[in-house]
Copies of this chain bind each other. A is one copy, B any other.
Amino acid sequence: MQKAERFRIILELLKEKQQLNTLGLSIRLDVSDDTIRRDLTELEEKGLLVKVHGGAISRSLIPLPIQERISIEQAAKVELAKRAVCLLESGQVIIMDGGSTNMEVARLIPHDIPLQVFTNSLPLAALLCDHAEVELQFLGGTVLKSSQVSLGPTILDQLAPIRADLYFMGVAAIHQQFGATVPHYEEVLIKRKMLAHSQAAVVMATKQKEQVVEKFRVCDLSDVKYLYKE
């Protein structure tokens, strides 16, 4: 049983069953469990699966809702958020869209400084309901259920009369050459409009986000006044 063939079989099985256990594979492929573990490690490095205790699972199983990202790198996100919150000043008008890092920012907003916040993120809005000094405006539209943000043309109308001081933009990836990118096309128009209606944009990016490029481009990194990296 050659290595290449094992790889092929493992990946095929993973497609069907979505999850595999080490011992089962070692019997099925008639090699030691150590070999299987080494195979899985190698396949994980290639990004073809995710190792777990006891075996491996399909990568497609990982991006559950969006919330997987909440846990991953959470500590780093809090650190980024702490730095970004310093930009807030009394009386400002703020736009914030979705994303787990923005959630951390919202959590860290001091309860005693008055702000006016516009957002299209349902969980973020719910969170800000606890802030007595925040005047909250929700930007309505079609709800993208996977990330619980509203999108669509009605948002553009609602943004029209706004000139915000800061825009906390959630992005999926940043790249020196390709700029800030996101996985859904609908988001792009919204984010561009939000950007256009703000004096300064804030982007926070964990290390993770520096190693990927998503399908749709929002803007250049030079369009972002405050870029916080890990």
Contacts and interface: CB of A to CB of B under 8 A. Distances in A.
- Most chain B Cβ neighbours within 10 Å, of A64, A130, A140, A158: A140
A132 B21 CA distance: 31
A27 interface: no
A19 interface: yes
A28 interface: no
Nearest to A145: B129
A2 B142 contact: no
A52 B129 contact: no
A158 B129 contact: no
A86 B65 CA distance: 29
Given A138-B122, A141-B140, A46 B19 contact: no
A222 interface: no
Interface stretch (A54-62, A107-115, A182-190, A205-213): A54-62
A201 to B, nearest CB: 21
Contacts of A74: 47
A89 interface: no
Interface stretch (A4-12, A31-39, A90-98, A169-177): A4-12
Contacts of A60: 148
A154 B158 contact: yes
